[in-house]
Amino acid sequence: MRKSPNARARSSKFAAKIEKIRASIDADWPEPCAPIAQLPTDSAERKRIPVVTGVMDYFPDAIAAVANVSFVGNEKHNPGQPLHWSRGKSPDHADCIGRHLLERGMMDPVTKVRHSAQLAWRALAMLQIEIEADRAAGAHVDDLV
C-alpha cells in the first residue's frame, strides 16, 4: 500500500524529531568509560567465561555493593551527570586498594559504603586498565581472560 504525501511528510517529520532527540541525548551523555568486553568468538572458549553463573551468581550481594560504589563515586566526582567512570579523577588504584584494605570490615564515614566494596571496585578498575593496556599493545583477546 502506498503512503499518501501527507503520511510521508508526517513520517519524515517524526524521523527528524527522533534524530534531534538522539543528537541531544548523545551530546549530553558522556562517552562510555571503556569498550565493551571483547570476548572470544569460539563457542567452546566462550563457555569458559561464565559471567553470570561464575561471578554474579556467586557474589550477588558483593556485586550490588560494588555497583553502589559506582553510583556513590559518580555522585561525588560527577554530580548531576549520568553514571560514568571519570578515569582521570582518581587513578591511584593500588594506593586506594591498600588504604581500603587497612580499613576492611568498616564503613567509610564519608561515602557510607563498605571499605571492602570500595577495595573491590578499585581492584576491578585496576584489572580493567591492565587488560585494556595489554589489548592496546596487541595482546590476543584469549590471552587477556
Q: Do 90 and 123 have their domain in common?
A: yes
Q: Do 22 and 43 have their domain in common?
A: no
- Answering whether pTM is above 0.85, one says no
Q: Do 56 and 84 have their domain in common?
A: yes
Give the integer Cα–Cα distance in Å for 66 and 127. Answer: 14
Average pLDDT of the segment spanning 42-50: 93
Q: Do 71 and 139 have their domain in common?
A: yes
Q: Range of 57's domain?
A: 38-143
Q: Do 9 and 76 have their domain in common?
A: no
Contact between 74 and 107 (Cβ < 8 Å): no
Q: Is the pLDDT of residue 14 over 90?
A: no
Q: Is the pLDDT of residue 5 over 80?
A: no
Q: Do 111 and 61 have their domain in common?
A: yes
How confident is the model at residue 38, as a pLDDT?
79
* Lowest pLDDT segment from 58-67, 68-77, 102-111, 133-142: 133-142
Q: Pick from 74, 52, 73: which is nearest to 63 by CA? A: 52
Q: Do 24 and 69 have their domain in common?
A: no
Q: Do 24 and 44 have their domain in common?
A: no
- Cell representation of residue 110: 564519608
How open is the CA angle 112-115-120, to the nearest 5 degrees?
120
Structural domains counted in the chain = 2
Q: Do 77 and 112 have their domain in common?
A: yes
How confident is the model at residue 56, as a pLDDT?
96
Q: Is the pLDDT of residue 96 over 90?
A: yes
Q: Do 52 and 107 have their domain in common?
A: yes
Q: Do 123 and 63 have their domain in common?
A: yes
Q: Do 67 and 133 have their domain in common?
A: yes
- Cell representation of residue 130: 591492565
